[in-house]
Amino acid sequence: MGGWRDMPAEALEQQYSPSRWSPRLGSDTIIEAHIAATAAGTQRARAGAQTSLHVPYGAGEGERLDIYYPTEPSGTFPALVYIHGGYWQCLRRPRPAAWLFPPSKDQSGFAAPPLVSRGVAVVVVGYDTAPKGRLDAMVLQVRRSLVFLVQRYPGIRGIYLCGHSAGAHLAAMVLSTDWSQYGVVPDIKGAVLVSGVYDLEPILHTYVNDALDMSREVAQRNSPVLCVAPAPAGCEVLVAVAQHDSPEFRRQSREYGQALRAAGWSVSLLDLAGVDHFDIIEKLSEESYVLTQVILNMISRA
């Protein structure tokens, strides 16, 4: 039958080690370069925008938002809600040397400048990563962050989700939410899911699960490809993947896009040439970057 189930353990771990697939730098060097790029971009964003940092949306230690306000806000404005990656866990040197992302909203504001200058608020969501946090709780936290935004900031006109890697997974889980349990229905007009993981079962068999400690049941109920909701009206989804993502990451993006389309969602797949798992998202700090322009065009169409 083929597929990930037939891969030797070492090959599967390599498939889910994003830093091993970049042609630019070695696996350790690219991690350091990525952390430096996102931290510097976030410093620039905070220096150049009006912000509200560490806004609590709940009582948990990680339940905080960073808000970057539009340069010239009107009475109402759209908001891009960004969910960071990091394999749902604290930064560490995994086995084998593989990745990982800044596991914090504090290095995740780099995408704000091109958006706030065009009248879009950017909201960066913090959540409790493993080993403290568990996956069910992370999904609940991100959903509750949107409920908080809707209730606290009535000036927001339309929410656009953007998540990278593990953050794309969490954004996809937001799309599967039954909002009747929350008392409000956020007006989600679009989602940009970048280099995500949408089926968690392969993760069970890699080093990534060492900190997450997921059971098969947890993995299944938190796999977006297995819990696609009925398509809402007026929500557009873009599933983006890098040329130099691993074959497994590329397969996951393709198959999740197909699952959404089969359920009637308005979805498109963007395969970005010349980028890897890291600079595909770093370049959102640049207004001329194709993915930045795609996001701005998505928002302008609403």
What whole-number distance in Å separates Cα of residue 176 and Cα of residue 58? Answer: 21
d(CA 189, CA 160): 6
Count of CB atoms situated within 10 Å of the CB of 183: 9
Backbone angles phi, psi at 56, to 5 degrees: -75, 130
β-strand pairing of 156-164 with 188-194: parallel
What one-character DSSP code corresponds to residue 206? Answer: S
Does the active-site annotation cover 66? no
- Catalytic residue at 6? no
Exactly one of 244, 276, 277, 279 is catalytic; which is it? Answer: 277
**184 backbone dihedrals φ, ψ, rounded to 5°:** -140, 160
Which of these is catalytic: 66, 106, 245, 276? 245
Q: Is 245 in the active site?
A: yes
Task: Compute the distance between CA of residue 252 and CA of residue 199 in angstroms, rounded to an integer.
Answer: 7
Catalytic residue among 17, 19, 165, 285: 165
Beta bridge partners of 79: 121, 159
What sign has the CA pseudo-torsion 82, 87, 93, 97? Answer: negative
Rounded Cα gap, residues 258 and 254, in angstroms: 6
Residue 105's closest CA among 124, 122, 129?
A: 124
Supply the residues annotated as catalytic: 165, 245, 277
